[in-house]
Each structure stands twice: as C-alpha cells, then as structure tokens.
Structure 1
Amino acid sequence: MWWTGGGLLALVFPAVTVAIGYQLFGYPGVPFGFLVAGVATWYVGRLMNRSPDDPDDYHNEHRFFSIPMQYWALLWMVFALSQLVLMSLGKAGWQQQ
C-alpha cells in the first residue's frame, strides 16, 4: 500500500496549497503554497503520529511511501526554496512585466 493511516495527507496538502497559491497569485504563489504545505504537513504529521499515552513518543503509523508523514515536510520546504531561487534567477517560467 502506498500509505497507511492519514499518510495520504502528505500529498494532499501540497496539491491543495500550491493550487490555491497559483490561483490567487499566479506563479509567485507556488513557493508560498509549498511553504504552507511544509508547515501543515510537519504540524499535522507530528500531531497524528504522537503516541496518546506519551506525548514525547512517536509511533509513526501515518506514512506515505513508508516515510512518516511529518518528514515529507522537509521535501516541500526544499521545493519552496528551489522555486524561490529559480524565480529570482528568472528561470522558472515566470517573467516580470
């Protein structure tokens, strides 16, 4: 199986936030969407994977491609940073007018 528990949210968050960012702000909204997705994935993943008995213990039952959900946030942050760099270099398909 590709995901366990709520791990599919690790893919849903960036799909939704990037789409909304692009619709509201055009291409400059894409890195913002990835940034919001990273924060949401980290927070929700840590919250969902926390053990109910011991808040300092994580059981990581919510996974996407066998990776605990909260760690997908790091990938979304890297995407946000890379899109910002590409946008600043003018190579991301977005041109200032």
Structure 2
Amino acid sequence: MIIWTGWGILVPVFMALGAGGGGLLTEELFGVGTGGNGALVGALLAAVAIFLLGRKLNKPEQGYHPRTGEPVVYRNRHTFFFVPMQYWSAIIPVIGLIVTVVTMIKGTA
C-alpha cells in the first residue's frame, strides 16, 4: 500500500522517470552494461527536482482567519510515506548508491 498526501505521489513518479530514463538513455548511447551509471545520475537529477518542488509546495503561507481576521500560518502537507517531499531528496541518493554497489558486486561475482 502506498501512502501519500497532496502531491507526494510525484516522488516515485519522478524517481521512476529519472532513474529509468537515465538508465535507458545511457544503455542506448554507450552500450549494454552502462545503464546502472545512467540510472544513478537520473536518480540524482530526480532528487534535485523533488527537492525544489517539495520545498515550493510545502512552503508555509501567511493568511487570515475568516471570522476573526487574525493572522494564521497555513502549512501545506505534501508527503510520501509520511515524509515531506523535499526530504526524499536525501533518501533517494542513498537508495541509488546502495543499488549501484549491489549491482557492481553481483557483476564481479
């Protein structure tokens, strides 16, 4: 089960497009066996995009209470698995490095 709020569902979409697109592009340009490096670069680019979008979407906004007119800060919540979008930009490179290292180890064994 996937849990998200707001536009948090864009985290796996960006990740799949970045890593998948980078891997396929690298395989096409440089040959078989190079897709892992391209997927890592694509994942890092996706992490940058997720950070920028998450920071923009989760920015608190100043507003006013409709009845009292008092100033209120409205906080937006765009999360994926209860983690705000912009914090996934730190998690994704770690996942990408782990996958790359495991792939390299399997390739040499």
The separation in 1 between residues aligned to 2:104 and 2:97, in whole angstroms, is: 14
- 2-11 vs 74-83, which deviates more? 74-83
Higher-Rg member (1/2): 2
What code does the residue aligned with 1:7 have?
Answer: G
Q: CA deviation at 1:67?
A: 1.1
1:77 maps to 2:86: no
Q: Provide the aligned C-alpha RMSD in A.
A: 2.7
Structure with higher strand content: 2
Aligned to 2:105: 91
Aligned to 2:57: 48
- Cα deviation per residue 1:23-77 (whole Å; 9 max; x = unaligned)? 10022201101101111111100000012339xx883410111111111111112
1:39 maps to 2:48: yes
What code does the residue aligned with 1:71 have?
Answer: Y
Which stretches of structure 1, 4 residues or more, deviate above 3 A after TM superposition? Answer: 80-84
Identity of aligned residues (%): 37
TM-score, normalization by structure 2 = 0.68
Check conservation: 2:62, 2:74, Cα contact below 8 A: no
Q: How many residues align?
A: 90
Name stretches of at least 5 consecutive residues in structure 2 with no aligned partner. Answer: 27-34, 64-72
The separation in 2 between residues aligned to 1:7 and 1:53, in whole angstroms, is: 22
Cα distance change of structure 1 residues 47 and 15 upon mapping to structure 2, 3 Å threshold: same
The separation in 1 between residues aligned to 2:19 and 2:9, in whole angstroms, is: 16
TM-score, normalization by structure 1 = 0.75
Name stretches of at least 5 consecutive residues in structure 1 with no aligned partner. Answer: none
Check conservation: 2:61, 2:75, Cα contact below 8 A: no
